[in-house]
Amino acid sequence: MLFSGQPGVYFLDPSLHRIKCLQIPPIQLLSYKLLTNIQIHQRNEKMASFSTAQDLFIPLGKDGQRMSYRLLGPSPSSSGKIPLVMLMGFRGTMDQWDPALIDPLAAQRPVILTDIPGVGRSEGAVPLSITEWAQSVVDLLIVMRIPQVDVFGYSMGGCNAQMVALIAEEYSGGKVKVRRLVLAGTTPSDGQGVKRFKREELEAFQRLAAAQTVEQQKEAFMKGFFGRCSEKSWAEGKKSWKRIAGARKKTMGQLGKEGSRRQGIAFAKFMGEGSLEKLKGLKMPVLIANGCQDLLLPTENSYLMYKTLPNAYLHLYPDSGHGFLYQYADHFSSLVNLFLDGEKLGATLTPSKL
Amino acid sequence: MLFSGQPGVYFLDPSLHRIKCLQIPPIQLLSYKLLTNIQIHQRNEKMASFSTAQDLFIPLGKDGQRMSYRLLGPSPSSSGKIPLVMLMGFRGTMDQWDPALIDPLAAQRPVILTDIPGVGRSEGAVPLSITEWAQSVVDLLIVMRIPQVDVFGYSMGGCNAQMVALIAEEYSGGKVKVRRLVLAGTTPSDGQGVKRFKREELEAFQRLAAAQTVEQQKEAFMKGFFGRCSEKSWAEGKKSWKRIAGARKKTMGQLGKEGSRRQGIAFAKFMGEGSLEKLKGLKMPVLIANGCQDLLLPTENSYLMYKTLPNAYLHLYPDSGHGFLYQYADHFSSLVNLFLDGEKLGATLTPSKL
């Protein structure tokens, strides 16, 4: 969908610190030499945090619909560090990340938050396949001129992240390569050994899908993400909810009814797409993480992905479910930093696994 | 076995930096007030590393047989940091740890290396039960006046570490408490779901048991610890072998034939002792780690321990076997430091697991 008819490219003017629209015929964009010097990214006078990062926009849709993103931490171009793009789960938007997870990551590397089309501040309709979600992410990275990226996907965003890793290089014509992948609280699509939802998991999913008021959203978050865990786990969940709610002045709320329905359709389609088999082709280091009893996407599937992927690390937490990354935000951000910064992790591959 | 008839207590004189023997009637030892001021540990003028740590001895056996240990990193008493005691596997001695794993740990905390009776420089015969191995470790900690300790056990040393965690508090009369536990490349004893050795695993074990020459030991290390993995894994194994071989001037070599036979008997006895069920009673945070295809102690058993223990973290590596902690010494030492230093890890417990 890239460059088909959008009116120009928006970027953050480095001197004025505001969004400008650069009128360039779309087809010329990638060869437009000036763009290599114009920093699309924020300058690094003061690194943006989760609370202070500005909303930025690039028109990528067929009719010029804008995709929104935020850039945190050091500048990708001046720091020379590989950015980490974060992909959120069902009904979540850029606003719903926990700053206690994001800020320690952004202290070490550029972090790109984004919403797929139709979610949060990204315009358009939610695409009806996760492959298209992944294409929109790669489109964004092409325009941002990010040739190498690490990708972190959570929950349904972890399905998106799998697809980004699977399609990025071919879809972008070699312009975007995924270096490392983090799959948090997520699942492969159906395949041999994949555990299906249990009844109580469907309940947790339906509660998430149906939540309209903030109170209902909080209840769905607490019960779905910290259900069946200890009081300590619940207390950490509540703290996380507060951190998220208090982090930014203007928030969008969760994705509405029609968008959620379309996300559900895309997820159902994904589950039939056989990504599990395809994962065997991903050679990059992958960190898979989860709580010990994920009520939404069974923890066993994280172990299965570990056994399937040729170059995967598995980290499972105690006393936690789908919300492990909120509950253990301190530890997990350190673990992700350790994984992304480890130099020796690009091992050649083992012929057989467990 | 503590204090039954040994002639005195040996300690490192803090001013003279040499071993002295303090003649105290054994029974009076624990109430001997002066000992609270006499530092058994080395002074912290220059922190000892794996290469430079001195051999220290405390007589603990019935006939005054000395148990050997080394103290690395900061002083337990003056740093106020909780020491980490490291327990080695089948036929290994204090000399066989990889300095690339040990030194980063000792940079953050006191590290105590020790050999059970009959192994390395520790006198006596190898006890015929792992419970007795664990008692000897607790004896050492009582005399060293280490009231709280973290324990790291590798392979057969991981069985020892389980037993230390299970017995320490009761056996020491509350004088020694295990705060956190690291179980690396190890197994619980037989129990529901425990995977038994495969034929090729028995071969790897037999090769380890039979190795007499240094060349045979190297072959057993490489094939048993890095078998079925990639060339990169093998190359990391060879580097580790070199690091270990070059780290200290005088080494003891691996445990001899009779000691190995007795270790084998103790291990076989342990496998019938049902530690798996008992592990449910360990409430402290436990980090379980392994490679993806451990040829000696099946990786599935690490996952089983994770599911059994109420407060466990699981970390599994790719492209690696029993030797994962040598292969990923950089990453794993960081992971262990992260686990031991995490303040929020002492969660109350979840009622059910996977």
CA distances from B113 to A218, A221, B86 (A): 49, 46, 5
Q: Determine contact: A334 vs chain B, CB below 8 A.
A: yes
Mean pLDDT of B323-347: 87
Q: Determine contact: B279 vs chain A, CB below 8 A.
A: no
Q: Chain A contacts of B317, Cβ < 8 Å? A: 313
Residue A287 has pLDDT above 90, yes or no: yes
User: What is the pLDDT confidence band of residue B61, given thresholds at 50, 70 and 90?
Assistant: confident
Residue A93 has pLDDT above 80, yes or no: yes
- Say if residues A66 and A80 touch (Cβ distance below 8 Å): no
What are the tens digits of pLDDT across the range A223-257? Answer: 999 988 889 999 999 999 999 999 999 999 899 99
Percent of chain A with pLDDT over 90: 71
Nearest-neighbour CA in chain B from A84: distance (Å): 20
Residue A329: phi, psi to the nearest 5? -55, -40
Token pair belonging to A271: 């589950």
Specify the range with the lowest mean pLDDT, choosing from A296-300, B138-142, B157-161.
A296-300
- Say if residues B60 and B6 touch (Cβ distance below 8 Å): yes
Residue B284 has pLDDT above 70, yes or no: yes
pLDDT of residue B200: 72
Q: Cβ–Cβ of B232/A347 closer than 8 Å?
A: yes
- Say if residues B228 and A351 touch (Cβ distance below 8 Å): yes
Mutate to test the interface with A, among B229, B314, B343 (most CBs of A within 10 A): B314
Residue A260 has pLDDT above 60, yes or no: yes
User: Class for domain B9-345, per CATH?
Assistant: alpha beta
Mean pLDDT of chain B: 86
Nearest-neighbour CA in chain A from B227: distance (Å): 10
Q: At what angle do helices A130-143 and A156-171 cross, to 10 degrees?
A: 60
User: What is the pLDDT confidence band of residue A44, given thresholds at 50, 70 and 90?
Assistant: very low
Would you give the DSSP letter of residue B73?
Answer: B
Mutate to test the interface with A, among B286, B319, B330 (most CBs of A within 10 A): B319
Alpha-carbon distance of A320 to A324, in angstroms, equals 5
Regarding predicted confidence, which is higher, B49 or B196? B49
Token pair belonging to B42: 């080395």
What are the tens digits of pLDDT across the range A172-226? Answer: 999 999 999 999 999 999 888 898 877 777 888 999 999 999 999 999 999 999 9
Q: Determine contact: B270 vs chain A, CB below 8 A.
A: no
DSSP three-state, residue A154: strand
Q: Cβ–Cβ of A342/B330 closer than 8 Å?
A: yes
Would you give the DSSP letter of residue A48?
Answer: B
Percent of chain A with pLDDT over 70: 84
Regarding predicted confidence, which is higher, B107 or A295? B107
Q: Which residue from B148, B205, B208 is spatially nearest to B181, judged by alpha carbons?
A: B148
Q: Cβ–Cβ of A292/B316 closer than 8 Å?
A: no
The angle subtended at Cα A64 by Cα A83 and Cα A38, nearest 5°, is 45
Q: Determine contact: B315 vs chain A, CB below 8 A.
A: yes
Mean pLDDT of chain A: 86
Mean pLDDT of A143-165: 97
Q: Which residue from B90, B76, B88, B9 is spatially nearest to B48, judged by alpha carbons?
A: B76
Q: Cβ–Cβ of B344/A335 closer than 8 Å?
A: no
Alpha-carbon distance of A314 to B278, in angstroms, equals 25
Alpha-carbon distance of A195 to A299, in angstroms, equals 9
Task: List the domain boundaries for chain A.
Answer: 79-345
What are the tens digits of pLDDT across the range B98-129? Answer: 999 999 999 999 999 999 999 999 999 999 99
Query: Count of residues for chain B?
Result: 354
What are the tens digits of pLDDT across the range B166-216? Answer: 999 999 999 999 999 999 999 999 888 898 877 777 888 999 999 999 999
ipTM score: 0.87
Q: Cβ–Cβ of B314/A312 closer than 8 Å?
A: no
Q: Which residues neighbour A329 within 8 Å (Cβ) at sequence distance 6 or greater?
A: A98, A100, A101, A240
* Torsional sign, CA B225, B294, B285, B129: negative
Q: Determine contact: A316 vs chain B, CB below 8 A.
A: yes
pLDDT of residue B97: 98
What are the tens digits of pLDDT across the range B285-297? Answer: 999 999 999 888 9
Mean pLDDT of A31-40: 36
Q: Cβ–Cβ of A353/B292 closer than 8 Å?
A: yes
Q: Which residue from B208, B160, B149 is spatially nearest to B183, judged by alpha carbons?
A: B160
Mutate to test the interface with A, among B101, B183, B239, B292 (most CBs of A within 10 A): B292
Regarding predicted confidence, which is higher, B249 or A26? B249
Rg (CA), chain B: 19
Mutate to test the interface with B, among A305, A314, A345, A352 (most CBs of B within 10 A): A314
What's the longest Cα–Cα distance across chain A? Answer: 57
pLDDT of residue A275: 80
Token pair belonging to A147: 């040739």
Token pair belonging to B254: 């691996």
DSSP three-state, residue A98: coil
Q: Which residues neighbour A41 within 8 Å (Cβ) at sequence distance 6 or greater?
A: A12, A71, A75, A76, A77, A110, A144
pLDDT of residue B341: 92
Specify the range with the lowest mean pLDDT, choosing from A25-34, A265-274, B74-83, B333-342.
A25-34
Residue B58 has pLDDT above 90, yes or no: yes
Place of tokens 């390395």: B120
Residue B299 has pLDDT above 90, yes or no: yes
Residue A2 has pLDDT above 80, yes or no: no
Alpha-carbon distance of B325 to B181, in angstroms, equals 16
Mean pLDDT of B11-32: 38
Q: Determine contact: B281 vs chain A, CB below 8 A.
A: no
pLDDT of residue B32: 34
Alpha-carbon distance of A148 to B274, in angstroms, equals 50
Regarding predicted confidence, which is higher, A188 or B17? A188
Token pair belonging to B305: 């321990």
Count of A-B CB contacts under 8 Å: 119
Residue among A292, A334, A353 whose CB faces B353 most closely: A292
Residue A145 has pLDDT above 80, yes or no: yes
End-to-end CA distance of chain A: 40
- Say if residues B119 and B255 touch (Cβ distance below 8 Å): yes
Specify the range with the lowest mean pLDDT, choosing from A37-46, A50-59, A290-299, B290-299.
A37-46
Nearest-neighbour CA in chain A from B54: distance (Å): 32
- Say if residues B130 and B157 touch (Cβ distance below 8 Å): no
Q: Determine contact: A303 vs chain B, CB below 8 A.
A: yes
Alpha-carbon distance of B15 to B8, in angstroms, equals 20
Mean pLDDT of A301-307: 96
pLDDT of residue B126: 97
Which residue in B has a C-alpha nearest to residue A335's C-alpha?
B335
Domain A79-345 has CATH 3.40.50.1820: yes
Q: Cβ–Cβ of B330/A310 closer than 8 Å?
A: no
Token pair belonging to A228: 């069946």
pLDDT of residue A190: 85
Residue B156 has pLDDT above 60, yes or no: yes
Mean pLDDT of B318-333: 95
pLDDT of residue A345: 57
Query: Count of residues for chain A?
Result: 354
**Residue A120, Cβ neighbours under 10 Å: how many?**
23
Q: Which residue from B293, B2, B13, B337 is spatially nearest to B140, judged by alpha carbons?
A: B2
Strands A148-154 and A84-87: parallel
Q: Chain A contacts of B308, Cβ < 8 Å? A: none
**Residue B12, Cβ neighbours under 10 Å: how many?**
19
Q: Determine contact: A347 vs chain B, CB below 8 A.
A: yes
**Quick one: three-class SS letters along A246-294?**
HHCCCCCCCCCHHHHHHHHHHHHHHHCCCHHHHHCCCCCCEEEEECCCC
Mean pLDDT of A313-334: 96
Residue among A285, A306, A347 whose CB faces B233 most closely: A347
Helices (H), chain A: 34-37, 76-79, 99-106, 130-143, 156-171, 199-210, 214-226, 231-247, 257-271, 275-279, 299-308, 324-327, 329-341
**Residue B251, Cβ neighbours under 10 Å: how many?**
14
Residue A5 has pLDDT above 70, yes or no: no
pLDDT of residue B274: 74
Q: Cβ–Cβ of B318/A313 closer than 8 Å?
A: yes
What are the tens digits of pLDDT across the range B215-250? Answer: 999 999 999 999 888 899 999 999 999 999 999 999
pLDDT of residue B227: 82
A34, burial (CB in 10 Å: exposed 0-12, middle 13-18, buried 19+): exposed
Alpha-carbon distance of A86 to A100, in angstroms, equals 14
Q: Cβ–Cβ of B292/A354 closer than 8 Å?
A: yes
End-to-end CA distance of chain B: 40
Q: Cβ–Cβ of A314/B309 closer than 8 Å?
A: no
Q: Chain B contacts of A347, Cβ < 8 Å? A: 230, 232-233, 318-319
Q: Chain A contacts of B338, Cβ < 8 Å? A: 331, 334-335, 338
Q: Determine contact: A283 vs chain B, CB below 8 A.
A: no
